[in-house]
């Protein structure tokens, strides 16, 4: 485990998110503040509808809070326009989705390579980097397969490779083990733990999965849009 860096890589300050549903409003997050530091392996848990996914969306610059501030590496997202937000998502954030969300027309290699291409990384360096990451997630030799030629677990590993390829400040994983069997879930968690340990990647999970909670070193429990419990596991 890495020593805690004093500057948080993700910080939410008094964020509230209210959705309008017809005539009434739903308060998904309510004055929530928390900080995530580089190298953390954090799970955000809570009952369905507690605001976990909303929190991840705000941390990932995919959505904007109704009030409050979100900072990535000290940069406040509310001050940024669409293009700068796209750049932040490209360079500083990695996403792993429950439904994998790979681009179906691209091969595993191309999916993993995509963010590096967007960044304009040198092709030779990019190739080396992607091959290494695919090897790290156990997909050697499967780079030329398209998503529909891979199992669910393999697709999620491609999603992890895509998320970490650009060496982001934080990887946000929304229920990453929800759509895979227990064997694959363990395998995925092992991979992510190893990446956290060896490469210092910061992971934040939104999850109900007890296997994720067993491995997390910090568990934040959210209930009704507020932090109900925040504990570090030794």
Partner 1 sequence: MEVFKMAWRNLWRSRRRSLTTIVAMTFALLVMLLLSGLIEGMLRTLEQDIVELEVGDIQIFADDYRKKPSIHTRILDPESVLVPLDAAGFSASARLLAFGLAASDESSAGASFRGVDVERDARVSRVHREVGEGSWLDENDPKGVVIGKGLARSLSVGLSDEILVLSQAADDTMAYELYRVRGILHSVGGAVDRSGIFMTQPSFRELMVLPEGAHQIIVRRPQGADLLVAHEQVASLASPLEVKTWKMIFPTLSSYLASARSMMSILYLIIYSAVGILLLNSMLMAVFERIQEFGVLKAIGVGPFGVMGLVLMETAIQTGISVACATLLSLPILFFLSTTGINIAALASVEIMGASFNPIWRALFTPGIFVVPILLLVVIVVLAVLYPALKAAWIQPVAAMEHH
Q: Rule CB under 8 A: is residue 137 a binding residue for partner 1?
A: no
Evaluate the CA torsion angle 111, 63, 48, 12 in order and state its sign. Answer: positive
Q: Rule CB under 8 A: is residue 80 a binding residue for partner 1?
A: no
Q: Rule CB under 8 A: is residue 127 a binding residue for partner 1?
A: no
Residue partners of 163: CB distance under 8 A and separation at least 6: 94, 95, 96, 171, 173
| x-marked contacts with partner 1 along 140-179 as a string, rule CB under 8 A | ----------------------x-----------------
Evaluate the CA torsion angle 4, 45, 203, 184 in order and state its sign. Answer: positive
Q: Rule CB under 8 A: is residue 125 a binding residue for partner 1?
A: no
- Binding residue (CB under 8 A) for partner 1 from 24, 83, 124, 231: 83
- Binding residue (CB under 8 A) for partner 1 from 38, 60, 65, 143: 60
Q: Rule CB under 8 A: is residue 203 a binding residue for partner 1?
A: no
Residue partners of 220: CB distance under 8 A and separation at least 6: 34, 42, 43, 44, 45, 227, 229, 230
Spacing of C-alpha 132 from chain mean position = 20
User: Which tokens sit at 158?
Assistant: 């491609």
- Binding residue (CB under 8 A) for partner 1 from 91, 186, 193, 230: 91
Q: How far is the CB of 168 from partner 1 (least distance, A)?
A: 10
User: Which tokens sit at 195?
Assistant: 């990446």
Q: Is the CB of residue 199 less than 8 Å from the CB of residue 166?
A: no
Q: Rule CB under 8 A: is residue 109 a binding residue for partner 1?
A: no
Q: Rule CB under 8 A: is residue 63 a binding residue for partner 1?
A: yes
Chain residues in the site for partner 1 (CB under 8 A): 57, 60, 62-63, 82-83, 86-87, 89-91, 95, 97, 101, 103-106, 114-115, 117-118, 162
């Amino acid at each position: 485990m890495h020593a805690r860096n004093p500057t948080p890589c993700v910080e939410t300050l008094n964020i509230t998110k209210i959705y309008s549903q017809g005539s009434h409003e739903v308060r998904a997050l309510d004055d929530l503040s928390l900080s995530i530091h580089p190298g953390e392996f954090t799970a955000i848990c809570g009952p369905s509808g507690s605001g976990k996914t909303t929190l991840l969306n705000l941390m990932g610059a995919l959505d904007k809070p109704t009030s409050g501030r979100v900072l990535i590496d000290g940069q406040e997202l509310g001050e940024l326009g669409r293009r700068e937000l796209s750049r932040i998502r490209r360079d500083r954030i990695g996403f792993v989705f429950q439904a994998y969300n790979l681009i179906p027309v691209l091969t595993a290699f191309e999916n993993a390579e995509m963010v590096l291409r967007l960044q304009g990384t040198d092709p030779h360096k990019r190739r080396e980097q992607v091959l290494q990451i695919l090897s790290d997630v156990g997909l050697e030799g499967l780079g030329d397969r398209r998503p529909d030629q891979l199992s669910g677990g393999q697709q999620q590993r491609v999603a992890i490779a895509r998320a970490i390829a650009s060496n982001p400040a934080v990887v946000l994983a929304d229920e990453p083990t929800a759509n895979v069997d227990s064997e694959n879930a363990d395998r995925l968690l092992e991979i992510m733990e190893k990446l956290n340990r060896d490469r210092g990647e910061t992971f934040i999970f939104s999850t109900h999965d007890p296997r994720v909670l067993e491995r997390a070193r910090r568990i934040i429990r959210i209930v009704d849009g507020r932090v109900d419990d925040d504990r570090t596991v030794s």
